[in-house]
Amino acid sequence: MLSIRARLVLGFAVLLGLLFAVAAVPLQRLEDLTARTHDIVDRQVQLAILSQRANQHAQAAAIGLLNLMQTAQREARVPQYAAMDAELAAADRAVAGLEMAMLTPALRIDLERIGDLRRRYGELFQATVELIEIEGSAPARRHFEDRTQKVLNTLLFETQALEARLQQAMQAELEQLRLAATNARRLVILLALGALTAGAFMAWAIARSIVRPVGEAVAIAGRIAGGDYQTLIPAGKHDEIGALMGSLATMRDSIASREERISRLAYVDLLTGLPNRTRFLEILGQLPAGSRGAVLMLGIDRFAPINNALGHAVGDRLLCEIAARLCLAQGGNCVLARLWGDEFAMLLEDADQAVAALHAERVLAALRAPMMVDDQRLDIDASIGIALYPRQGESNTALLRRADLAMAGAKRRHAGYLVSTGNENEPPHEELSLIGEMREALARGEFLLHYQPKLDLAQQRITAAEALVRWRHPEKGTIPPGRFIPFAEQTGFIREITPWVLARVIADAAQWRRDGIDVVASANLSAFDLLNRDLVGLVRRLLDEYTLPADRLCLEITESALMDEPELALQHLKELAALGIKLSIDDYGSGQASLAYVKTLPVHELKIDRAFVDGVDTDTRNAAIVRSTILLCRELGLTVVAEGAETPAELAWLRTNGCDLVQGYVVARPLPLEDFLPWVRDFRPASSDLECSVS
């Protein structure tokens, strides 16, 4: 099989040969026609000239003879004889020239007759001349008129007829030349048409031999592009098309291999080999309408401490062992996937709540058996949240959210697993919209501070105030911190709010001090803030910038903020305490801090959570808790603050039992700065039944 290059070269060579033939044949025919035309014209002209000469010389001789008969003196006639002989000789030469020409047989017969007439005319001419010399002019004239002139006229007629026939013969030959030229043109046209036909056929044949396999290759490439990697690719011949087909086969195999790797990367968790979150959501989305089942979300309890203590390599091997056990615990109608970190998801089709609960118990039992990882025995537990579909949501996000919230509830209750009721606390949509607006709100200056006073029960004056952030939304009005601070902490945006709060609080406290208002300003720190390595430097810089003594600032920390990374939190607290800043544990009693842990903290006060202050004058249990806390703080040298007091009876009980400070509506609501300062200046304790002075 010729290659495409060889076929193209051969095709062009044949086309060039045909074009050369089309050009060469007309040139040769043209040269032949030109040469023949020249021959015909030259010969016919020569014959015509010879014929004319024969007539002319014969007539000239006749005229000389007439003149001779009119000349009386012999001496005068002698020169005329020479002239007549020359004319007759010239006529003979012309006739001889005609006899030598290549004439047709008919013309040659005519020429023989003219020759006979010329000889007879010569004899009669000579006889006439002799009569002139012997007998005189009169007998010679009679002889010329009776005989010589008749032969001369016949000779002239025949010569003219020969000349006419020569012209006709030349016209016939020219007509043949025209026919030959026409035939030559026809031949050229036929050759050109033949060359075009042959060229078109060769072009079609070559194009067909190229286009058909190329079209087949294009179709194959299209099928490959459409994802058909099983399409058969013909081997092809040993030419460029064969090489193209081989390249297509290689491309198909390479694309299939790459897509398999990409699909694995996109849909498979590389650590455990399980389907990942994307694949799990895709499977959820492909569930037929009206189907029912359950989505289970599993989270490993206390995985982070294990990962931190033993290292990520051990944590990864632990996750692989967990995935292996989960695979063994699954049934045939269950889809298992790893979502991220230590969270796994399971999809049970055609399962009700009872089946899902049994499956969760089986999974938990499989995970609770001791695991050996790197010769270390690890005992783990897990929490599972169950969401049923379509009862608790038909969308993927709704199901996973319900299962996630149920899992979080199971962790809090240490219940192993929990079935979603659909009533779990979720942020309202309007609050979710606030998350995206917080950054712009901070830039536009929509955040502001309210200060809630703290009453010193012993001195009966305001000695401290807690700064509380408010959001003055242009459309929703003033938004309390409980509606956006939790989301700021979840998203990490609290790290941008806290520096602004600290700067405002320290600036305000410095201004109070310059104005003679002896009030300690308090600001709250979240877990993100307390673990921020730049926190101490930020506070030190702000204190120096506004020239505020450190003991005029109090930072309040919740118990939960101390539990995430206690060593780093304790280090930062010690550094802040070393600056002279007052430290307070907020919401004491609502968290998980032990008394032994509190003893080690460099704090100055405890704030009893409002849950224990509420009804302390009537609830004996709350009273016992608050009383014991006050005694504990007194023994530890800590100031105790009761927050959330709302009634004069609660205030009186707290004063009687030795509480140091009270914060709550019974003293004052949180006030904007422009209202807080006049209120502090004008504050006068009414009596033991102090009432709220600001509504």
Confidence of residue 56 (pLDDT cuts 50, 70, 90): confident
CA distance 335 to 295: 10
Residue 454 CA neighbour count, 13 Å, CB half: 23
Residue 313 lies in a domain: yes
Same domain, 514 and 372: no
Task: For the sheet with 343-349, list strands across it.
Answer: 334-340, 343-349, 293-300, 382-389, 417-419
CA distance 581 to 530: 14
Alpha helices for 268-352 (secondary structure H): 277-285, 303-310, 312-329
- What does the pLDDT average to over 252-263? 73
- What does the pLDDT average to over 612-625? 92
Question: Are residues 320 and 270 in contact, defined by beta-carbon separation less than 8 angstroms?
Answer: no
- What does the pLDDT average to over 611-636? 92
For residue 292, how far is the Cα from the chain centroid? 39
- Among candidate residues 343, 676, 289, 314, the one with its CA nearest the CA of residue 504: 676
Confidence of residue 2 (pLDDT cuts 50, 70, 90): low
Residue matched to tokens 């979502």: 339
- What does the pLDDT average to over 360-381? 87
**589 has pLDDT over 90:** no
**69 has pLDDT over 60:** yes
Strands 477-479 and 461-473: antiparallel
Lowest mean pLDDT among 3-12, 310-319, 456-465, 534-543: 3-12
Same domain, 456 and 553: yes
pLDDT at 631: 93
Both tokens assigned to 35:
């040469």
pLDDT in tens, 125-175: 788 778 877 877 788 788 878 887 787 788 778 777 777 777 777 777 778
Cβ neighbourhood burial of 354 (10 Å; 0-12, 13-18, 19+): exposed
- What does the pLDDT average to over 347-365? 91
Alpha helices for 494-641 (secondary structure H): 494-514, 527-530, 535-546, 566-579, 595-600, 610-613, 620-636
Lowest mean pLDDT among 15-24, 460-469, 571-580: 15-24
* Contacts of 431 by beta carbon, 8 Å cutoff, 6+ apart: 483, 484, 487
Same domain, 22 and 152: yes
Both tokens assigned to 244:
């193209």
**442 has pLDDT over 80:** yes
For residue 320, how far is the Cα from the chain centroid? 36
pLDDT in tens, 273-332: 899 988 898 888 888 887 888 999 999 988 888 877 788 888 889 999 999 999 888 866
Question: Are residues 301 and 416 in contact, defined by beta-carbon separation less than 8 angstroms?
Answer: no
Higher pLDDT, 616 or 688: 616
CA distance 531 to 571: 10
Confidence of residue 590 (pLDDT cuts 50, 70, 90): low
Same domain, 600 and 459: yes
pLDDT at 691: 43
Lowest mean pLDDT among 17-21, 136-140, 351-355, 494-498: 17-21
Which residues sit opposite 449 in a β-bridge? Answer: 469
**689 has pLDDT over 50:** no
Residue 576 lies in a domain: yes
**555 has pLDDT over 80:** yes
| 3 state SS of 518 | coil
Same domain, 368 and 409: yes
pLDDT at 685: 74
Higher pLDDT, 184 or 609: 609
The 10 Å CB-count burial string (b at 16+, else e) for 274-308 is bbbbebbbebbeebeeeeebbbbbbbbbebeebbe
Residue matched to tokens 């040269």: 31
**690 has pLDDT over 50:** no
CA distance 494 to 402: 26
CA distance 543 to 293: 59
CA distance 388 to 411: 19
Question: Are residues 369 and 404 in contact, defined by beta-carbon separation less than 8 angstroms?
Answer: no
Residue 460 lies in a domain: yes
Both tokens assigned to 516:
């003679």
The 10 Å CB-count burial string (b at 16+, else e) for 598-636 is beebebbbbbbbbebbbbbbeeeebbebbeebbebbeee
Residue 382 lies in a domain: yes
Same domain, 410 and 465: no
pLDDT at 433: 63
Residue 23 lies in a domain: yes
Same domain, 588 and 643: yes
Both tokens assigned to 688:
């033991």
Both tokens assigned to 472:
């003055």
Q: What is the mean pLDDT of the chain?
A: 81
Q: What is the largest CA-CA distance in the chain?
A: 204
Confidence of residue 5 (pLDDT cuts 50, 70, 90): low
Higher pLDDT, 11 or 275: 275
Residue 437 lies in a domain: no
Same domain, 397 and 472: no
**472 has pLDDT over 80:** yes
Higher pLDDT, 692 or 99: 99
- Give the residue numbers spanning the domain of 583: 448-681
**441 has pLDDT over 80:** yes
Same domain, 616 and 501: yes
Lowest mean pLDDT among 176-180, 227-231, 322-326, 528-532: 227-231
Query: What's the number of domains the chain is made of?
Result: 3
Question: Are residues 522 and 465 in contact, defined by beta-carbon separation less than 8 angstroms?
Answer: yes
Give the CATH number for residue 159.
Answer: 1.20.120.30
- What does the pLDDT average to over 554-576? 80
**670 has pLDDT over 80:** yes
Residue 123 lies in a domain: yes
Same domain, 321 and 457: no
CA distance 516 to 508: 12
**235 has pLDDT over 80:** no
pLDDT at 601: 82
- Among candidate residues 459, 478, 458, the one with its CA nearest the CA of residue 468: 478
**194 has pLDDT over 90:** no
**58 has pLDDT over 60:** yes
Residue 647 lies in a domain: yes
Same domain, 341 and 466: no
Question: Are residues 36 and 111 in contact, defined by beta-carbon separation less than 8 angstroms?
Answer: no
Lowest mean pLDDT among 98-102, 439-443, 517-521: 98-102
CA-CA distances (angstroms) from residue 515 to 542, 672, 674? 19, 17, 14
Give the CATH number for residue 309.
Answer: 3.30.70.270
- What does the pLDDT average to over 68-79? 72
Q: pLDDT over 70 for what percent of the chain?
A: 86
Both tokens assigned to 508:
């305000």
Examine the fold and report which residue of 202, 231, 250 is the final residue of a domain before the chain moves on: 202
Q: Cβ of 653: how many Cβ atoms within 10 Å?
A: 22
| 3 state SS of 475 | coil
Confidence of residue 453 (pLDDT cuts 50, 70, 90): very high
Give the CATH number for residue 505.
Answer: 3.20.20.450
Q: pLDDT over 90 for what percent of the chain?
A: 29
Both tokens assigned to 139:
């007998």
Higher pLDDT, 384 or 163: 384
pLDDT at 459: 92
Same domain, 308 and 411: yes
Residue 544 CA neighbour count, 13 Å, CB half: 7
Examine the fold and report which residue of 202, 224, 253 is the final residue of a domain before the chain moves on: 202
Cβ neighbourhood burial of 367 (10 Å; 0-12, 13-18, 19+): buried
> What is the pTM for the complete model shown?
0.48
Report the Cα–Cα distance between both ends of the chain, in Å, rounded.
102
Q: Cβ of 170: how many Cβ atoms within 10 Å?
A: 17
Higher pLDDT, 594 or 73: 73
CA-CA distances (angstroms) from residue 568 to 302, 530, 591? 19, 8, 19
pLDDT at 688: 45
pLDDT at 431: 55
